[in-house]
């Protein structure tokens, strides 16, 4: 299609911006993952050194969103691919970090087994961590098959962003350490690809695996959003919305939106019915939390908004 008249400069401007952002994402990927200098990046991309330098310093203005998928939302192959499709759609307009829970009923089944063999707290955390880590690996593969560039963050690598004390089984994140790592390692990568983080898991400064307690993946998502300055956390669940009568079964109509405030006492029980209580402490302005069903057609399709 050829644009003419007043539409021509607009179309050319949009195309230039798309090309600039695409070049910038690839240049930053080469710098982060392959540690190339400006000269090598310019040669790899077939551009001048000045263009490569500008690409590296190009600011990504896309809003940042943290998406959390619950275990039941990833319990079947078609649900995993649906989740990947939702992230692919969001990646066109947003920087995206994904937090995943263990698929299906892994955690409950493993806890029952660990009780039988009387494992200690440190052994519990190490073994339970494999549920979320496996889920992250599977989701990474689904995204790659969908054509979405991504990277999994795994503990206890130096880039791992969730650092905690050594309270095995119910660890407390060290916020400043988490913020430093999330902004130093994860945020630059988000300009060129999706980051995938297994929820529920943390690591001590010495690299020992800890866990954040039941529902800890919620805490992971809100913690990362807090550290990264995300505009929104989207929790994708088998529950359509937070209900005002305290029950979880009522459905919202497609695209319907409800808003509740987390600092009102009357809403505590409703919010805590689907969100770990400690996680709510990390919901700070300007970030909002939105709860949607895995049946939604888009990550911004209705649901319940929880404001700080």
Most confident of 121-125, 211-215, 218-222: 218-222
Residue 127 is predicted with a pLDDT of 92
pLDDT, tens only, 12-38: 444 555 567 777 778 878 877 777 888
Residue 259 is predicted with a pLDDT of 66
C-alpha distance from residue 149 to each of 23, 92, 105, 142, 271 (Å): 14, 12, 28, 11, 33
* Rounded-to-integer distance, Cα 199 and Cα 136, Å: 9
Residue 243 is predicted with a pLDDT of 52
**CA dihedral sign, ordered 64, 70, 74, 79:** negative
* Rounded-to-integer distance, Cα 181 and Cα 160, Å: 7
pLDDT, tens only, 258-303: 666 655 555 556 666 667 778 888 988 889 898 888 888 888 877 7
* Res. 69: pLDDT tops 60: yes
pTM summary value: 0.77
Which residues are CB-contacts of 255 (< 8 A; sequence separation ≥ 6)? 301, 302
Residue 54 is predicted with a pLDDT of 74
Q: Give percent of the chain above pLDDT 90.
A: 46
What's the mean pLDDT when you consider all of the chain? 82
* Res. 98: pLDDT tops 80: yes
Which residues is 233 bridged to in the sheet? 66, 289
Query: Is 134 or 264 the better-scoring residue by pLDDT?
Result: 134
pLDDT, mean of residues 210-219: 92
C-alpha distance from residue 274 to each of 241, 262, 279, 292 (Å): 9, 13, 11, 12
CA 167-196-123 angle, to 5 degrees, is: 30
* Res. 251: pLDDT tops 60: no
* Rounded-to-integer distance, Cα 271 and Cα 291, Å: 10
pLDDT, mean of residues 202-215: 93
């Amino acid at each position: 299609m050829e644009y003419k008249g007043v539409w021509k400069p607009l179309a050319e401007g949009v195309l230039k911006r798309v090309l600039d952002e695409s070049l910038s994402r690839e240049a930053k990927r080469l710098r982060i993952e392959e540690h190339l200098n400006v000269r090598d990046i310019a040669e790899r991309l077939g551009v001048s050194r000045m263009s490569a330098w500008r690409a590296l310093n190009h600011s990504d203005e896309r809003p940042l969103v943290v998406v959390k998928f619950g275990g039941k939302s990833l319990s079947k192959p078609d649900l995993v691919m649906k989740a990947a499709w939702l992230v692919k759609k969001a990646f066109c307009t947003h920087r995206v970090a994904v937090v995943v829970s263990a698929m299906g009923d892994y955690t409950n089944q493993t806890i029952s087994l660990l009780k039988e063999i009387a494992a200690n707290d440190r052994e519990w955390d190490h073994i339970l961590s494999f549920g979320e880590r496996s889920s992250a690996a599977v989701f990474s593969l689904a995204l790659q098959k969908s054509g979405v560039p991504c990277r999994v963050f795994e503990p206890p690598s130096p880039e791992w962003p969730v650092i905690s004390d050594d309270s095995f089984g119910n660890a407390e994140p060290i916020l400043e350490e988490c913020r430093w790592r999330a902004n130093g390692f994860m945020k630059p990568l988000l300009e060129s690809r999706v980051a995938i983080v297994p929820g529920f898991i943390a690591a001590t400064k010495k690299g020992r695996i800890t866990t954040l307690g039941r529902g800890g993946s919620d805490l992971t998502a809100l913690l990362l959003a807090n550290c990264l300055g995300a505009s929104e956390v989207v929790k994708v669940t088998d529950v359509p919305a937070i209900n005002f009568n305290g029950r979880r079964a009522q459905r919202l109509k497609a695209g319907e939106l409800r808003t509740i405030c987390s600092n009102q006492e009357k809403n505590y029980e409703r919010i805590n019915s689907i969100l770990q209580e400690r996680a709510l402490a990390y919901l700070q302005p300007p970030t909002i939390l939105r709860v949607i069903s895995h049946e939604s057609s888009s990550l911004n399709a209705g649901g319940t908004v929880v404001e700080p």
